[in-house]
Structure 1
């Protein structure tokens, strides 16, 4: 669900019309764009011009035929969700409409902003769930990448079919109380375990308004190949909750996290499935998950999660591990190219945990970071962005918005800046067929998961631009999570220097394996990394055999 929601209001009472429009435009959590029609025919004509995300429909209109009108509208706009607007004297008609496919009904005399906003949001959620949780651009990309690798390596068809979908997945709807204690939200949560063959599963938990089963499955698949590529004793997993974390207080996030943990508690455990932070979550989230699990176990179980605070058994260096790992892989690629990094420039898209640390470590190596961005837009400075001042601004404001130095530009423009190293560290599907031809970099180091489409990969390969794939470039996070898990099992603590040295060594070894595979098979680095990961999983599955 995007931030902007197109609402088509079909209502002829001017008082109710203005009330509903004003309530929606207050936008409690979403940005509602409202179009209004006073007659059914007019509303359907507006929908034909531009489909809406949700329709608010009064069935007592001048050209309405009651229930037959609902069936007519539903037939022309499906699967767009419909919420019925009704008066107390029309309740039976509204109930009948809901029984026949409307998402909800609202009594106009009882409307308030909270009630209206929640009804629209829930209608969108239910329609989305019914439309198919597997429909996800990320899952489509993950499948495309896997099938390409499977074909090139002549993977056994039985294994190919088996590895396309996860071994276990759990979808839950879970309630949590808002700070207004009388208000209870219901949201969707997920936990997916792709492959159980290699050992316990491992993967993050993300809180984001676009999370669905398909996205979580794609991330779990990539985690399987990533762990196999890095020779870690894990299968891939992922979890998430479809929610807007930036709209929740700390207390609400804690209640949400504890309830989510309790819902998936039978799936997770130090020897079963070990969550970690991801988009929208952090070490505090992991502390709450650990505490919830420990309370049910009757004793502290630090190894149930990774990415938790050091004081609770977390590993030094875990927070910055993904960004640091990106830079370690860039160093290896630069060495192969004969580059002096202190003569090179870089652009980083996404100034969250991964991007900010990657930018800082590149800067420490002498790379001139000329552009960075977050969801509010980007900053460009040809002399190099002052990261110290930028970090101070972000610490105070929370985003790059309002930062006074350099030139402002969009994320799309930032990707096309001239530089030597481009680090997409935001979200998926940023480099596509539409912009790959305009990139002006020599090296793409993927800090995010799935930032480059299959079509864009082909274009970049033709243009001679090297892509350091996400399976390798952002594997630092799960690698140090593995270190944290090992330290927890052994009841020991490594120094920061030990963590970083072990991380560098494992990434160097993985990089060399991928390059060797690429040269041997004459394929790009992404395909080589996928083949290396898939092959290791396939061999493990064949060795274990099939039960019964």
Structure 2
């Protein structure tokens, strides 16, 4: 679901037209592009020009009345969800329409902004669930990458078929109360365990409005290969809730987290499946998950999650681990390239936890970071970003919006800035066939999961741009999560220097294995990393055999 929702309103009453348009433009959680027609034929013509995400339909119109209005529109726009707008006199018609497939009906005299926004949002959620949770660009990318590696390595077909989809998936719908106590939201939640062969499963929990089963499955697959590549005793897992966390208060986030944890509690555990933070979650979220699980079993279980606060048994260095790991891998690749990093420039897309730490550590190494961005846009300064000034602004405002240093650029423009190292650390699908030919970097270090499409990979390879793949470059987070889990099991605590030394050692060893495989087989680093991970999982599966 995009940030903008296309709404087609078919309504002939001018007063109601203006009211609905005004209420939608004040939507609480979604932003709407509203088009209005006062007749069925006009509305269908607008839909043909540009399909809508949802249709708001009055049943009594100049060129159509009653149930026939609904059937005419549904026949032309299905499966687009339709919400009925009804007056009291046509309530029976509205109920009949709902029974025949309308998503909801609203009585015009009772409409307010909250009611209308929620109705549209739930209509979209129901339609999306029916359309197929597996349909995801991320899952298609994960499958493409895996099948390419499987083909090159001659993977046993039985194993190949087994690894395409997860061993366990749980989809839940869960309610939580908003701060207005009588208002209860219902959202979709997920937990996926891709492979149980290697040990407990491991993977983050993300809160984001685009989370679905396909996305979570793709992330769980990548986590399987990542853990295998790093020689960690985990299979891959992932979880998430389809919600906009920025619209929720801390109290609402806590209620949501505790309810989500209780819904998946049979899947997780320190010897079963160990969640961690991801997009939209943090160490506080993990503290709530740990507490909820501990309350259910009757004693504290710190090892049920990682990425939690240090005071609750978290590991020093876990918050910075993914960004720090990206820089460790860049350092190794720079040595192979014969680079002096203090003579190089970098651009970082995404100034969240991963990107902000990667940018600062690059700056500490003497790299001139000339551009950074977040979802509000970015800034470019050829003289280098002043991170003390930038971080003060982000602490005050919460985003890069309004930051005065340098030139303002869009995220798309930022990716195409001239630099030596580009770090995409935002979200997936940022480097595609459409823009890969315009990148002006010499190295791409993937801080995010799945930021580069398969087609873009080929273009970058043809252009001689080195790609440090996500399986390797952003493996620092799960590696230090492993350290945290081990420390918890042993009831011990490592120093920051111990954590960083062990992290560098494991990432360096993994980089050397991948680099050697790539050179030996004349393949790119991503394919080499995938083959290394898949091969280890395949060996484990074949050694364990099949039950019964």
- Which is further off, 501-510 or 20-29? 20-29
CA RMSD of aligned residues (A): 0.6
Whole-angstrom CA distance in 2 between matches of 1:436 and 1:365: 27
What do residues 291-342 of structure 1 show as CA deviations (whole Å, max 9, x unaligned)? Answer: 0000001000000000000000000000000000000000000011111110
2-structure distance, mates of 1:23, 1:527: 50
1 CA distance for matches of 2:92 and 2:155?
59
Q: Distance in 1 between matches of 2:221 and 2:364?
A: 33
What are the superposed Cα offsets for residues 270-292 of structure 1, whole Å, 9 maximum, x if unpaired? 00000000000000000000000
SS in 1 for 2:547: coil
Deviations 1:408-441 (Å, cap 9, x if unpaired)? 0011111011111000000000000011001111
User: In the alignment, what sits opposite 1:303?
Assistant: 303
What SS does the corresponding residue of 2:510 show, helix, strand or coil? helix
Q: Distance in 2 between matches of 1:74 and 1:541?
A: 49
Conserved? CA contact 2:193–2:238, under 8 Å: yes
Q: Deviation at 1:98?
A: 1.0
| Secondary structure in 1 matching 2:253 | helix
Taking the aligned partners of 1:175 and 1:457, their CA distance within structure 2 comes to: 41
Unaligned runs of 5+ residues in structure 1 are none
Between 303-312 and 22-31, report the one with greater CA deviation.
22-31
Offset of 1:512 from its aligned partner? 0.4
- Quote the Cα distance in structure 2 between the aligned partners of 1:18 and 1:370: 47
Deviation, structure 1 residue 533 = 0.2
Aligned to 1:536: 536
CA distance in 2, matches of 1:14, 1:431: 45
Alignment of 1:223 with 2:223, yes or no, is: yes
Paired residues, number: 548
Deviation at 1:100, TM superposition (A): 1.1
Residue-by-residue CA offset, 1:59-80 (whole Å, 9 max, x unaligned): 1111114222212211111111
Could you tell me whether the CA contact under 8 Å between 2:322 and 2:476 is conserved in 1?
Answer: yes
Mapping for residues 39-438 of structure 1, pairs under 5 Å = 39-438=39-438
SS in 1 for 2:151: helix
- 2:494 paired residue number: 494
User: 1:487-542 CA deviation, whole Å, 9 max, x = no partner?
Assistant: 00000000000000000000000000001110111110000000000000000000
Q: Secondary structure at the match of 2:61?
A: coil
- Deviations along 1:203-245, whole A, 9 cap, x unmatched? 0000000000000000000000000000000000000000000
After superposition, the C-alpha distances for 1:3-60 in whole angstroms (9 at most, x for unaligned) are 1111111011112111111111112111111111111001000111111110000111
Q: The residue matched to 1:265 in structure 2 has which SS?
A: coil
Instruction: Give the Cα–Cα distance (whole angstroms) in 2 for the partners of residues 25 and 356 of structure 1.
Output: 33
For residues 119-152 of structure 1, what are the alpha-carbon distances to aligned partners after superposition, in whole Å with 9 as ceiling and x for unaligned? Answer: 0000000000000000100000000000000000
Q: What residue number does 2:473 align with?
A: 473
SS in 1 for 2:372: strand
Check conservation: 2:228, 2:536, Cα contact below 8 A.
yes
Q: Return the alpha-carbon distance in structure 2 between the equivalents of residues 73 and 157 of structure 1.
A: 47
Q: Do the aligned residues in 1 keep the contact of 2:284 with 2:309 (CA within 8 Å)? A: yes
Distance 1:436 1:19 in 2: 45
Query: In 1, are the aligned partners of 2:27 and 2:114 still within 8 Å (CA)?
Result: no
CA distance in 1, matches of 2:74, 2:166: 35
Q: Distance in 2 between matches of 1:88 and 1:378?
A: 51
Q: How far off is 1:88 after superposition?
A: 1.6
Structure 1 stretches of 4+ with a deviation exceeding 2 A read: none
Shift of 1:182: 0.7
2 CA distance for matches of 1:62 and 1:404? 54
1:343-391 residue CA offsets vs partner (Å, 9 max, x unmatched): 0000000000000000000011000000000001111000101011101
Q: Whole-Å Cα distance in 2 between the matches of residues 272 and 280 of structure 1?
A: 24
Unaligned runs of 5+ in 2: none
Distance 2:133 2:322 in 1: 29
Q: How far apart are the structure 1 equivalents of 2:94 and 2:50? A: 26
Matched-pair contact (CA < 8 Å) for 2:66–2:90: no
Q: Which residue of 1 aligns with 2:503?
A: 503
Return the alpha-carbon distance in structure 2 between the equivalents of residues 65 and 517 of structure 1: 69
Deviations 1:389-413 (A, max 9, x none): 1011101110001111111001111
Q: What is the alpha-carbon distance in structure 2 between the residues aligned to residue 421 and residue 78 of structure 1?
A: 47
2:351 aligns to what SS in structure 1? Answer: coil
Distance 1:223 1:78 in 2: 37
170-179 or 57-66, larger mean C-alpha shift: 57-66
Distance 2:488 2:287 in 1: 14
TM-score, length-normalised on structure 2? 0.99
The CA distance in 2 between the partners of 1:170 and 1:222, in whole Å, is 18
CA offsets 1:154-200 (integer angstroms, 9 cap, x no match): 10111111100000000000000000001000000000000000000
- 3-state SS of the aligned residue for 2:65? coil
Which region of structure 1 is more displaced relative to structure 2, 65-74 or 341-350?
A: 65-74
Q: How far apart, in 2, do the equivalents of 1:72 and 1:201 lie?
A: 50
User: SS in structure 2 opposite 1:120?
Assistant: helix
In the alignment, the residues of structure 1 paired with residue 500 and residue 89 of structure 2 have an alpha-carbon distance, to the nearest angstrom, of 70
Once residues 72 and 467 of structure 1 are traced to their aligned partners in structure 2, the CA distance between those partners, rounded to angstroms, is 52
Contact 2:394–2:400 (Cα < 8 Å) also in 1: yes
Deviations 1:246-266 (A, max 9, x none): 000000000000000000000
User: Residue 60 of structure 2 contacts residue 69 of structure 2 at CA under 8 Å; is this kept in 1?
Assistant: no
Query: What SS is found at the alignment partner of 1:123?
Result: helix
Q: Secondary structure at the match of 2:64?
A: coil
Contact 2:303 2:489 survives alignment (8 Å)? yes
Normalised TM-score (structure 1):
0.99
